A and B are shown apart, each in its own frame.
Chain A
Amino acid sequence: MNVDPAEMVGIAEQLYVARLAATMGPEGTEALKRLLLMVRQVHLAITTERMTNGLVVVCAVDRDDPCLPGPSASFTDASALTAYFDGKTTLTVQVSIDGLRVWTRPLEQDLSFDFVGYRYSVPHRETIFTRNAQYDVPVIRMSASYFGIPYFMDLKRSLEQYGETWVKDSTCEIFNESWLDPHRLLFAPEPEFRMRRSLQRHLRSGLREHTSVSIMPEQNINETRPVDIKVTWACNRVALIEIKWLGKSAAQGSDRCTQKHYAGRAKEGASQLRDYLDAYHKEVPHEEARGYLAVYDARRRNVTAPPSTISAADAAYYRYQEIEYDAEILARPDFEQPARFFCEAAL
């Protein structure tokens, strides 16, 4: 609980906000704030997948002169970029007095005036720069951009976005480490640890209003098995998230699968979650607990260990095969509709 002054100084010496403020003073700090707000709005308007040639955003410190010569587009709001930008060029955006100026050309020349800039380079590097310095931006492994994280008030929507954005094509670096092979046919043994870490990281940075997102230690709900993740809000609401994976896992070089999980595994998860919820309501009656089942579905047809090539049809065989759960469980008012994340193979 005691403060560590040396650590505080260390943070101030590293963090781009403090370093920039120390060199550029209040005017530079004010420009940085205007810049960062525009950076977020540009990232929300254009996904990083469409920024294949990078992005530069600049904000002049004490003037409104254009940062590039030649014609530019002008908008009052960055949301206009969604339709304007075709994703085929680089993009240079300047914060202006009445909105933003946009060029589909790179910022190659040195500017003659003081400014604060932001550069997003592919793949996934972000820097803040000025005329004389460059500062690294913190990295969040679950997001392509520190400033472009979509926020969600609702856990269900956040789970849906997680499945679609990070799990479907294994774009989450943490989850991607769960695979045994580059074609994503088999999981390595015990992939659930990385699934928990991946989902926890996603929720911590994108789910609004939570107070904690914890991976639960063993035997915290009952004596048989723990729930995987618990989300706590400031009021008396909690979410209990049970994670299950479907498919097969194997050790490197082995010709035997270590585990094989079919649709029944997801149904077991639903029953377990029902039991957790019953136990939780008894043990902590003053909290409103709600159950969420997250199913990482990597089922493939005709896959064996060690993994070898399979057809596209076999890889996608289970893509649309939804799981039929016990109707009584789904009808519970404290049980959210299970989320199935189908994990695509990379053939």
Chain B
Amino acid sequence: MSATPEAIFDCLSIANELGPIAGGAGESEIANFGYLSCLLSVYRGVAPSDWGYGFAATKAAAPYSEDLSDAIESCRLSGLLEEGPNGFTLSARGLQELVGLSELKRFRSRRAYLHAACQSAIAIPLPLVTESLSAEPQLRQALRLSSLRPLLDEAGRHVVLSHFAALSQAVPEAQDLFVPAVVWLAYLARQVEADTAEFDGIGAEEG
């Protein structure tokens, strides 16, 4: 088990950001918000390969990263993360570590993506953020094919970029990534509502 520095940084950042919102971050939430952060970097024109680690889609339409999973375990074992009833929170040492890492140039650019992704959970109820993300086109495809698939490979990136082209037209002036993040999640939430209504055999209702 060897976690990449980027995955360590992301896992500490997400646990820290979700603390005031939800009391901590669950393991799959760290994967979800890590993936959303990575997608926001792609929205800003960064190549997925520059993220530092990769993601795959599980059969249940959830993003998974072995690097993040290793990072959580590594941070837990070294006492940087503590597990509580609301998920993982930072220990005093974990917070100190995060503050130190945040000053490194290596992580500077990803802080904005992590912050915007996690802050979306103050504008949209947290469980609906992760549920909406399951309608991200690559994850939907994984659910349909019921297969474990890599995310943001060449074909996947192409599909996501078509969403992001529409998104940048919808919020052309937005400087804060929080805004496109929330608008895109609201768009994906509508896909989930439509899917749910179709599955349940009823008309779509409130969002």
Q: Interface of A with B (CB < 8 Å)?
A: 1-5, 7-9, 11-12, 15, 17-18, 21-22, 25-26, 29-30, 33, 36-37, 40-41, 138-141, 146-147, 149, 151, 153, 197, 200, 204-212, 214-215, 217, 232-235
Are A3's CB and B127's CB within 8 A? no
Which residues of chain B are within 8 angstroms of A209 by Cβ–Cβ distance?
A: 26-29, 127, 130
Which residues of chain A are within 8 angstroms of B170 by Cβ–Cβ distance?
A: 5, 8-9, 11-12, 18
Top 7 nearest A-B pairs (CB, nearest first) are A234-B62, A5-B166, A234-B28, A12-B170, A36-B122, A8-B170, A21-B179
Are A15's CB and B176's CB within 8 A? no
Which residues of chain B are within 8 angstroms of A22 by Cβ–Cβ distance?
A: 171, 173-174
Which residues of chain A are within 8 angstroms of B159 by Cβ–Cβ distance?
A: 1
> Can you name the residue of chain B whose Cβ is closest to the Cβ of A30?
B176
Are A17's CB and B182's CB within 8 A? yes
> Can you name the residue of chain A whose Cβ is closest to the Cβ of B84?
A153
Which residues of chain B are within 8 angstroms of A8 by Cβ–Cβ distance?
A: 166-167, 169-170, 183-184, 187
B207 at the interface (CB under 8 A from A): yes
B21 at the interface (CB under 8 A from A): yes
- For the complex, give the distance between the alpha carbons of A210 and B61 in Å: 11
Are A138's CB and B86's CB within 8 A? no
Are B179's CB and A18's CB within 8 A? yes
Q: Which of B36-44, B98-106, B197-205 contacts A (4 or more CB under 8 A)?
A: B197-205
Are B62's CB and A146's CB within 8 A? no
- For the complex, give the distance between the alpha carbons of A83 and B20 in Å: 20
Are A149's CB and B125's CB within 8 A? yes
Are A207's CB and B28's CB within 8 A? no
CB B166 to nearest CB in A, in angstroms, measures 4
Are A15's CB and B182's CB within 8 A? yes
The answer to whether A205 and B125 touch (CB under 8 A), given A8-B166, A8-B170, A9-B170, is yes
Q: Which of B7-15, B71-79, B134-142 contacts A (4 or more CB under 8 A)?
A: B134-142
CB B88 to nearest CB in A, in angstroms, measures 11
Which secondary structure characterizes the binding site on chain B?
helix
Are A29's CB and B22's CB within 8 A? no
Which residues of chain B are within 8 angstroms of A149 by Cβ–Cβ distance?
A: 125
B178 at the interface (CB under 8 A from A): yes
Are B166's CB and A3's CB within 8 A? yes
The answer to whether A232 and B199 touch (CB under 8 A), given A18-B171, A151-B22, A153-B86, is no
Enumerate B136-159 residues with CB–CB distance to A below 8 Å: 137, 140-141, 159
> Can you name the residue of chain A whose Cβ is closest to the Cβ of B20?
A37
- For the complex, give the distance between the alpha carbons of A149 and B124 in Å: 10
B109 at the interface (CB under 8 A from A): no
Partner of B28, one of A25, A30, A215, A235: A235
> Can you name the residue of chain A whose Cβ is closest to the Cβ of B139?
A211
B186 at the interface (CB under 8 A from A): yes
CB A2 to nearest CB in B, in angstroms, measures 7
B128 at the interface (CB under 8 A from A): yes
Partner of B201, one of A4, A210, A217: A217
CB A133 to nearest CB in B, in angstroms, measures 16
Partner of B130, one of A11, A147, A211: A211
Which residues of chain A are within 8 angstroms of B28 by Cβ–Cβ distance?
A: 209, 211, 233-235
The answer to whether A206 and B127 touch (CB under 8 A), given A3-B163, A234-B28, A234-B60, is yes
- For the complex, give the distance between the alpha carbons of A27 and B61 in Å: 36
The answer to whether A139 and B176 touch (CB under 8 A), given A212-B60, A214-B199, is no
B119 at the interface (CB under 8 A from A): yes
Which residues of chain B are within 8 angstroms of A9 by Cβ–Cβ distance?
A: 166, 169-170
B54 at the interface (CB under 8 A from A): no
Known: A147-B125, A211-B60. 7 other contacts (CB 8 A): A1-B137, A7-B190, A17-B183, A138-B207, A151-B22, A211-B61, A234-B60
- For the complex, give the distance between the alpha carbons of A204 and B132 in Å: 10
- For the complex, give the distance between the alpha carbons of A215 and B195 in Å: 12
Enumerate B56-109 residues with CB–CB distance to A below 8 Å: 58, 60-62, 64, 85-87
